[in-house]
Structure 1
């Protein structure tokens, strides 16, 4: 690689850029599905999905597993409670803590969204790569990125 070529990024072949483009496309598609099926916004969906993934999570745990700050998570939690999609279950040990659980309605809406997303986004890739193989590749990239020192 020449010095001049190392100063240029070919976006068509730069996987970090292509990953961002793909993530944006998936996010837009997901948001369209979530809006049409449940009338939710992106932050509400992320909270609902995090609670469905591990029922009983606290709001702090949801914040830790989603790319959102605690204020956005808090607003989404309150909105989902007001909509009857999740409920807070107070801790018996610590009155300051409560876990989040989906309601029957929340579970119904979640299942409808999950079915569409699973049917459309997790089908095997056209080259024969399975979803599991693709996810493993993404995890490897993620691990490599985490090892790069921050400047």
Structure 2
């Protein structure tokens, strides 16, 4: 990696690390016909609980319009379905289907493999320290 003044910024380094991990994971998931963002949706929904689009967008780190388009494609593939919220008929919840759960179970091992490889590369103490630092950054206000 060539040195550049931009690499002095922590936000840039975090973004660069994210990009590296995202590209590697995307390559692996493509072999199963999935995308990283789809894995995130399936992971969140894998507990069988329906989620509103707003909650889902927050949890999977996507903006609403992009999530809506992707969810439409996932519905068309039979991976998820929408149903009215039993507690509020004005809201729609998204649920994983059996087919979605099958795909999730296939791709989860690939995600776990990447995560384990990163943890092994860093070691136990550095993994714990990195997790703690990232959680502090995420929790930071402002």
Q: Over aligned residue pairs, what C-alpha RMSD do you find?
A: 2.6
Tell me the TM-score normalised to structure 1 length: 0.74
* Structure 1: segments with no counterpart, 5+ residues: 1-7
In structure 2, the CA distance between the partners of 1:93 and 1:55, relative to structure 1 (3 Å rule), is closer
Tell me the TM-score normalised to structure 2 length: 0.78
Larger fraction in strand? 2
Give the match for residue 70 of structure 2: 76
Give the match for residue 31 of structure 1: 26
Which structure is richer in relative contact order (CA contacts within 8 A, separation 6 or more)?
Answer: 2
User: Which has the greater radius of gyration?
Assistant: 1
Give the match for residue 133 of structure 2: 137
Residue 95 of structure 1 aligns to a residue in which SS? Answer: strand
Residue 68 of structure 1 aligns to a residue in which SS? Answer: coil
Determine whether 1:119 maps to 2:113: yes
Determine whether 1:19 maps to 2:11: no
**Which moves more between the two structures, 134-143 or 17-26?**
134-143
- Could you tell me which of 40, 52, 59 is aligned with 2:53? 59
* Structure 2: segments with no counterpart, 5+ residues: none
